[in-house]
Chain A
Amino acid sequence: MFGMAFLMPAFLAGLVAAALPVLLHLLKRDAAARRNFSAVFLIKRTPVEQTGQRRLRELILLALRVTALALLALAFARPYLTGVVAGTGGGLTVVAIDRSFSMSGPGQFDRARELASDAVRAVRLGERVAVVVFDETAVLLSEPSPERQQALAAIEGLSVGWRATRYRVGLGRAAEVIGAQTGRIVVVTDLQRSGWVAGGQGVVPDRIAVEVTAVESPVGNLAVTAVKSGALDTRASILNGGATARLATLRLLVDGAEVDRTMVTVPAGVSSEVVFPVVLPQHGEASVVVEDGEGYEADDARHLLLVPQEALKVVLVTSSGDSSTEAFYLDQALRVAGAVNQFEIVQTAAVRLSLTLAQVDASPPAVLLLTSRGLDRRGLAALEAHTRAGGGVLIVAGPDMEPVTLSGLGGVGKSVPVNDVERPMDQRLVPADGRHPIFKALGQRLGNLAQVRYGRIRVLDAGQDGRVLARFSDGGAALVEYGLKSGRLLVFGSDLDDAWNDFPRHPMFVPFVHEMLKYLSGNRREQREWLVGDGPAASVSLPGFTALADSQRVAINVDRAESDPARMSVEEFGARVAQLRGAVNAATPEASDDQERGQGYWRYGLGLMALALAAESLLGSRMD
């Protein structure tokens, strides 16, 4: 229904003020006095307007004044239109169709289309309807229109996608389409529980009703959720999302050809690991496929691109060149077997640094400078050339680092202002910018860095060029990155070998060191696996193998979380939808803009009031 409501209805009391001019007019209105006068002929010569004309103009003036006051009160009351925009009549129904791959069960999406079409047909005549489809993204498929055929045609041409369910995204887009009006959202979905990510919830204004039309989920679903190539075999994880145990047949394909086949019974609701006694080649494309006639098609295969792992070369600079004794913990951290990141350690003494760097024929390695003892001018020049060539340097300002030497580290193009002030304090490390690649890669484990106790630290002066990536708990810089034209230079303000802190004995030590060295290496190791629609594969809509724009081949898989068909009830779904009074989903700035536009009629009110006052002034001045 079309209507108008007010955000601040109390200001409507100001409409009483609009009666003031009328009241004054009535109070001051009286019959013309009759008076005998001698010089009437002089009055008659006066070019006064006729009484009728004057009365008309006075009435117009009165109307303008009343209008101005009424508009002022209305503007303060912040009017907005409820229902649909004027002239179109009726409310707005948005049919939001879940097209995530959890809707790809046998006959599932056909049923979804039927229910969506029914929802469109059920819209009352004169009301408008729009169609939104959503998975991890949401698209307005059919603009709001009273024409149902348009919406029905859009639904007819719809097909299921390969991405995961995100109810919040779908509801947000639907609420955005409704904007500041009233309406309802009909969600056609399989009510998959994983559609609410990490306890998230959708927010829609309370003037928008949310209805759910549920589509049945498949009885069971088998999904290959992971494939891992080992030195002795190949392993795959298979999930049974059904309520009963399933006997699954799995095939291992390499470059499209089946190389192994196995059968396994997977208990209900759990994942099982399947081992193929096959060593995969270093190059190629491997896939594990499960035969599943009941569940979703998209997760029946998992793809793995076979590429040789290229180890990152790291030059460990110590006094003697024996990192196994002088930098035991670092050495061990870089030699972790089976780690995602593989490092090739090049040990060198500081005095031989220039020679070592000259001998490294690979791309510029990361240099881990643990000492300044023996670092001569040639070594500094080699470091400068190294950074100029795009290499990275991590200076660990521990006990073996001489501050004076560091201050003269002009070889890297910067004078690193590390002094010899040491503070024997119980310090903690806190990342200053969690979005930095080093910390971002640590993910939710980032907070664990604060568990490390630093007994001694080095005071670092970031200066104007330095960017503090992490600080100690007293506010001092802990990890500083200095801006260079090429290459990267990091300075860590403490020790990394269990001398000044207990960091090497914490679980975060290895990933932290690895991420720092990866960053110094310029993240040359490319990711070869992506989810559908993510990262550089955003334009890829099908799982499998594909070549990116730079001709690099990658494996595209579906989100494994979507493979779990666990459902929730309509009530549970409704409980996740927070309906806020007067709120428009704030998820998108466009929604806020729509809300602002929908409530922006007060501007027109003030504009009209200004016009009325201007007209009143003009008319009034002509009457004087």
Chain B
Amino acid sequence: MPMGGTGGELRFLDPAVIARIGSMELKARTVVEGFLAGLHRSPFKGFSVEFAEYRQYVPGDDLSTIDWKVYARSDRYYVKKFDEETNVECHVLLDVSGSMGYGSASVTKLAYGSFLAASLAYLMHRQRDAVGFMAFDDDIVTHLAASARPGHLRSVLLALDQVSLGRRSNVAKPLHQLADALTKRGIVVLLSDLLDEPDRIIQGLKHLRFRGADVVVFHLLDDDELSFPFERLTRFCDLETTDEVMAAPLEVRNHYLREIGSLVSRYKRELRLVGIDYQLVKTSKPLDFALMRYLSTRSRRH
């Protein structure tokens, strides 16, 4: 069982279960609280923002974690654990292009991405990070600037609750726009199926990275897109264009799998070369997997 959580806790991280929960806020809360409930027994214990404690310094502790105020008062070294962070701008970018509307099960990529975005926003807000949100297809559909104000999370979750499928993908365009707009270093989380021109997407992400942002890419793909399980002769209709192609899945499967495999491999290879966290996320997997990935990236900023 991942992260040491109990079965009951993880049940609430299942995207199919989350999808049945009413509001986006409640969904996010369910995901994050469930995630954190398991996290207390995990190695990532130190990132809970609800708990803080001091303990006496022991050789080997990071000197940056020593609370010098306490030292001034008590003349003893104490290490500050779980202190709150409020100075990171987090931008959640959600792809709402037509291709995100595909879902083989009860959850589409867009829904999964929404849950994940909401959860991340909730988690970020809980950590006192400034949360920004952007929904895009071939252009920016919704944009909420990063803010740590108490009511901002509700705005973000409301925006997420109202996202709908857009038009064709153009992932690179909002990336460049965001990169140009960034005023301070922060974390950019991209939630997209990346079914667009890889060169342009990678260029856009590199632009963000160039602007000093830590970038986390969640590559959302449906199981069908990864395994191509179809058998009967099918007329495949593109979700973003009017393109149609008749194909016998048994005939094209091998080549398709090679294509999708090389696409994923390319993202993984080229993004990691420039220090971008890339994570392939299957929409059938629990959401905690993606949250854990974010926290891992977040931890590197301390």
Contacts and interface: CB of A to CB of B under 8 A. Distances in A.
B193 A38 contact: yes
A38 B260 CA distance: 12
B248 A43 contact: no
Interface stretch (B62-70, B143-151, B234-242): B234-242
A403 B236 CA distance: 107
Interface string B226-265: 0000101111111111011111100110011001100100
A47 interface: yes
A41 B243 CA distance: 9
Contacts of B233: 30, 32-33
Contacts of A32: 232-235, 246
A44 interface: yes
Contact of B259 (A34, A38, A45): A45
A374 to B, nearest CB: 105
B175 to A, nearest CB: 20
B37 interface: no
B102 A37 contact: yes
Contacts of B109: 38
Given A48-B247, A48-B248, A42 B235 contact: no
Interface string A245-279: 00000000000000000000000000000000000
Given A44-B243, A44-B245, A38 B225 contact: yes
Contact of A35 (B98, B236, B252): B236
B235 A40 contact: no
Contacts of B234: 32-35
Contacts of B244: 40
A39 interface: yes
Contacts of A37: 102, 224, 236-239
A40 B236 contact: yes
Contact of A40 (B101, B243, B260): B243
B225 A35 contact: no
B239 A36 contact: yes
A552 interface: no
Contacts of B100: 38
A30 B260 contact: no
Contacts, number: 88
Interface in A17-76: 30, 32-48, 51, 54
B238 A40 contact: yes
Interface string B16-40: 0000000000000000000000000
Contact of A38 (B99, B232, B248, B251): B99
A42 B256 contact: yes
Nearest to A624: B251
B195 interface: yes
A34 B256 contact: no
B247 A38 contact: no
A34 B233 CA distance: 9
Contacts of A42: 256, 259-260, 263
Given A33-B233, A36-B102, A46-B255, A41 B238 contact: yes
B245 A36 contact: no
Contacts of B102: 36-38
B222 interface: yes
B112 to A, nearest CB: 13
A614 to B, nearest CB: 22
Interface in B183-199: 193, 195
Nearest to A45: B259
A32 B225 CA distance: 19
Contacts of A44: 243, 245
B239 A46 contact: no
Contacts of A54: 248, 251
Nearest to B103: A38
Interface of A: 30, 32-48, 51, 54, 623
Interface of B: 98-102, 109, 193, 195, 222, 224-225, 230, 232-241, 243-248, 251-252, 255-256, 259-260, 263
Closest 7 CB pairs of A and B: A38-B99, A40-B238, A46-B255, A38-B102, A46-B252, A42-B259, A37-B236
Given A32-B235, A35-B234, A41-B238, 10 more contacts: A32-B232, A35-B237, A37-B238, A40-B239, A40-B243, A41-B243, A42-B256, A42-B259, A42-B260, A44-B243
8 contacts: A32-B234, A36-B237, A38-B195, A43-B245, A43-B256, A46-B259, A47-B255, A48-B248
